[in-house]
Structure 1
Amino acid sequence: MKIALVHMRHAASGGTERFLNELARYLAERGEDVSIICRSHVAPSHPAIRFVRLRPFSIGKAQRMWRFACAVERHIKAADYDLVYGLGKTWTHDMLRIGGGTVHHHLASKPSRQRRRKDKIAARIEAKAMAPGAYYHVVSNSHQSDSEIAEAYGVPAGKRSVIHNFVDTRRFDRERLSGDARALACELGINGDTPVFLFLGTGYQRKGLDSALEAFARLDINATLLVVGRDSQQAKYQEYARQLGIEEKCCFLGEQSSPECYFSLADCYVLPARYEPFGFTVLEALACGTPVITTASCGAREVVTADVATVIDRTDNIQALTGAMAHWAGCKGDAVLQKRCRELALTLDVESIMVQNYQCILNVYKLKQAAKCRL
């Protein structure tokens, strides 16, 4: 098949970008003719992958998004792809994957004063992408997102699938990374007897860093909290840590290129998200043998079990969050727990999840061919 994968940004980091790279690689390895339609790109995940760069003139993020979607529509109408798979922010596709939840629900979770022109444009694009006749099938990475799609756009059940996210269990492996984790602990001055909590992610407010800091401040044990990831408001959270009296126990480390080392160093990963359609990081932590605390608003709750994770009801339930942190701190160094975490992650290894995605693509291709025959 001649397959086009569509996403404005092709990069080495980011959840959707990670999915794009792995799916493109998997399809190319199976002999499919793969093109990635994008505005910018880095090196491909397989040498046979081709890029189609569309860079219409635009000023500002909102216009860039809209004009890219228009350019994709023109290109696809003039091309001869057997199947077009959109990964968001465009409306011309046979299949569409919603990997970050719907824009509709994401905006509903934000105060109206924080909504920008870019958000309004994204909502318009999404509405066109989900309109009847605009797709054969829609894939989401959690039942949470699947419900949002049905609620917001009335996509019929027969045209929706849920395929959970994946993890590269070769990259995220505590045993392989043990030396690197020890070196990192030494570099950060972390005592081997001290429980280490990790918060890792971009977008501190949505992912609940304020609640993590408050709960951490209530712990009556000596522990360390590592904060990894970027946010334009980092200074505000550092000041909050100072006000809580935990400044000396918190390390704000910014964005890091080797998250696997931090997951392997940590004794517990804390993600008290206000809104998280899935969360690759939950699986990455588990693959490194690290138990997880998250919330009912995180789609990854669908794949975790109580023996490796705590799911609290809401982000602002600080008492429950503190209790969960104390519980997992008490399990520091538990080899059986680490093995259970790893075993769950192995069930969601990237190769097995790609098999499911490929089968879905083949099914949609058959639907498209059958529809052509009826014309």
Structure 2
Amino acid sequence: MKICFVTHKVKKGDGQGRVNYEVIQEAIALGHDIVIIASELSEDLKNHPQVAWKRVSVNGWPTELLRNQVFAIGSTLLLMRLRSRIDYTVINGFVTYARSDMNCMHFVHSAWLASRYHPFRERRSFASFYQYIYTRLNRSLELFAMKRSRTIVAVSDQVKQELVHHAGVGPERIAVIRNGVDLEEFYPRQIKRETLKLSEETVYAMFAGDIRSSRKNLDTVLKALVEVPNVHLLVVGWTEGSSYPHMASELGLKDRVHFLGYRKDMADLMSAADLFVYPSRYEPFALVLLEAMAAGLPVIASRNCGAVELMNDEAAIILDDPDDSQALTEAIRFCASNRLRLKQMGEQAAQIARSQSWKHMARHYSRLMEETASRKTMTAAES
């Protein structure tokens, strides 16, 4: 079978891009020929004999809104030319105006627009107005793309419910396939903290994500940390353009909150930390939670993160309200008060994560592609 993947990125180090990479690797292993329409492609796939890369460049366009449209138009034109040579088409959300066989949804703009946490509901500014326009346009384009897709894949049950209730997609058209985790990179290991300039005696919580976005909710973490003076916080993420370093200083946390910037040694940092805190206001899945669990970290997360569907009370503390700083304070205090409890929770978290390998996820995608391709062939034969 010749399968075409249409997506912005196919590469490790990017959540959606990593999913694409693993599914393509599985398809190659099964003997399929692959066409990839993308702006970025992993080096090891560029010269693979089973892969043909059709690059759509979006360099030079000033906003993501424009870049997405340039990509969608470019991919549509390519698909028009290639359609007769392709048996099956896989896309991510709205990336083309053409029809597809499978649409993998990693973010639901319809649900984000309806969320009380959308920036435009929290404050009125030029930036939040742009976010409103961006989300509203993407909502319309996503709805258009899903109507032109045979099968929808949701990365969590949360996303499936959002697609049903906010996007009007029939549940019979939706399959849930959760993201995987790299178990060769993220696993429990002993790390000498001194090599990372960390103290052996200190309790370290960890937070990782886009700290320029209020959606990730670092502000509530900082407020909660004020009330737990024996805990330090490791923050991973670009600090340029972020207001949180200043907020940490204003709250008197300068000596206990360590902004580490972007890091490539996430697995080592997770192994050196004691717990992972991530009360995101809206997260369709949150791969970073699964990575933390695989590294053996107990997790404090909000119910608004799709990945919490995999967790239980022995591995994580799930908050109903991501903005409840008092509940978050109590959760951090509870975890930090007992090292043995932290160890036991981390062991349970790692055990859960071991069943969620990338290979496991990719096989689910392959089986679904084969099933839906067979139905497509039967339908074509009947007509």
What TM-score do the two structures reach when normalised by structure 2?
0.89
Q: Which runs of 5+ in 1 are unaligned?
A: none
Give the structure 2 partner of residue 123 of structure 1.
Answer: 139
Give the structure 1 partner of residue 163 of structure 2.
Answer: 149
State how 1:31-110 maps to structure 2 within 5 Å: 31-44=31-44, 47=48, 48-55=50-57, 59-61=61-63, 62-79=65-82, 80-90=85-95, 91-92=97-98, 93-100=100-107, 102-109=108-115, 110=118
CA distance in 1 between counterparts of 2:239 and 2:371 reads: 40
Say which SS state the counterpart of residue 94 (structure 2) adopts.
coil
Quote the RMSD (CA, aligned, Å): 2.0
2:10/2:17 contact within 8 Å kept: yes
Give the structure 2 partner of residue 311 of structure 1.
Answer: 318
**1:210 counterpart = 2:216:** no
CA distance in 2 between counterparts of 1:301 and 1:209 reads: 18
Give the structure 1 partner of residue 335 of structure 2.
Answer: 328
Say which SS state the counterpart of residue 141 (structure 2) adopts.
helix
Give the structure 2 partner of residue 364 of structure 1.
Answer: 372
Give the structure 1 partner of residue 154 of structure 2.
Answer: 140
Query: Which deviations, in whole Å up to 9, do the C-alpha atoms of 1:101-122 show, x marking residues without a partner?
Result: x112223332334142544442
Q: Which runs of 5+ in 2 are unaligned?
A: none
Give the structure 2 partner of residue 338 of structure 1.
Answer: 346
- The 3 A distance-change label for structure 1 pair 168 and 249 is same
Say which SS state the counterpart of residue 43 (structure 2) adopts.
coil
State how 1:259-298 maps to structure 2 within 5 Å: 259-298=266-305
CA distance in 2 between counterparts of 1:227 and 1:161 reads: 34
Give the structure 2 partner of residue 5 of structure 1.
Answer: 5
Query: Which deviations, in whole Å up to 9, do the C-alpha atoms of 1:330-360 show, x marking residues without a partner?
Result: 3436544332221110111221122111111
1:293/1:311 contact within 8 Å kept: yes
CA distance in 2 between counterparts of 1:56 and 1:328 reads: 45
Once the 2 structures are TM-superposed, how far is the Cα of residue 67 of structure 1 from its aligned partner? 2.7
1:66/1:121 contact within 8 Å kept: no
Output the amino acid matched with 1:246. L
**1:354 counterpart = 2:356:** no
Once the 2 structures are TM-superposed, how far is the Cα of residue 69 of structure 1 from its aligned partner? 1.1
Matched residues, percent identical?
26
- The 3 A distance-change label for structure 1 pair 374 and 232 is farther
- State how many pairs are aligned: 364
